[in-house]
Amino acid sequence: MPTHAIEPAEAGQRLDVALARLTGAPRSLVAGAIRSGDVLLNGAPEKASTTVAEGDVLDFVLTPRAALEVRAQAIPLEIVYEDDDLIVVDKAAGMVTHPAHGTRDGTLVNALLAHTSGLPGDALRPGLVHRLDRDTSGLLVVAKNEAALSALGKAMMRRFIEREYLGLVVGTPERAEGTIEGGIGRDPQNRLRYTIRADGRAAVTHYAVRERLRNASELRFRLETGRTHQIRVHLSAFGHALVNDPLYGRRDRRVDLPGQALHAWRLRFRHPVTRKDLEFEAPPPPAYERAKDILRG
């Protein structure tokens, strides 16, 4: 087990920051080693946030993560549309979009690779033009060749791909429709969360009340931007968190949903090759509709 004595220039740093800078390892790898007890400060395990002092002794073992390998898996897919250039799929709630170290298989990408081979782009995110959170259901467009991926990627950046969502929220906004704006960045207190920050990336969410429920409502959302967790962050800050959102709101035991009650129900864009305007709709899944019935009271 390597050993290091904290030098004056390192004193006052967080344990995880000091070790990451010392070794050049990713913070995520360091954090995992600290959680698993592979990092000792003066002979004892400590929290990642512990401040180190000059002369403190670090003992540590950092085991690199095994490289991710993406394999095809025969997982059922709800294909809404497909041609030689693209696929539109209705992703199920609870399905991760692409593999990561927390979820190596069972993802939408694993299923897509079994459905069609040779998807373009990044090895872990082949064909993906955009993503949905694990527990958000609904429509995604996937490119089947490099030309389509490039064209659709540019269309997304220029906001030419229109996406609308349906969501169940706690309470009812005072105004029947409106716009929520606020730059989004990582929450410095919780790396799993995002929050509205002055230095965050610009984000704009338009909403309209679709149905008033009992102490809740169904809203329709239209995005101008596509930041991570955008709707969830904006609605939480707005005071109307999504129903059953475990990260930005709270679990609701009355509903049988894996997470937040959010569904990407409408998708509009111009075909990257034929230049025809395409529009798709997918109704919310049965579990969402049952949750809405419960919230009607």
How many angstroms separate the CA atoms of 138 and 145, rounded?
A: 22
Interhelix angle 15-23/27-35, rounded to 10 degrees, is 120
DSSP string, 222-261: EESS--TTHHHHHHHHHT-PBTT-TTTS---TTS--SS--
Other CB atoms within 10 Å distance of the CB of residue 181 = 13
Q: Quick check: is 199 catalytic?
A: no
- Among the listed residues 95, 133, 284, the one whose alpha carbon sits nearest the alpha carbon of residue 295: 284
Selecting among 133, 135, 245, 252, the annotated active-site residue is 133
Contact 261, 168 (CB under 8 A): yes
Instruction: Give me Rg for the CA atoms of the chain.
Output: 22
- Catalytic site positions: 133
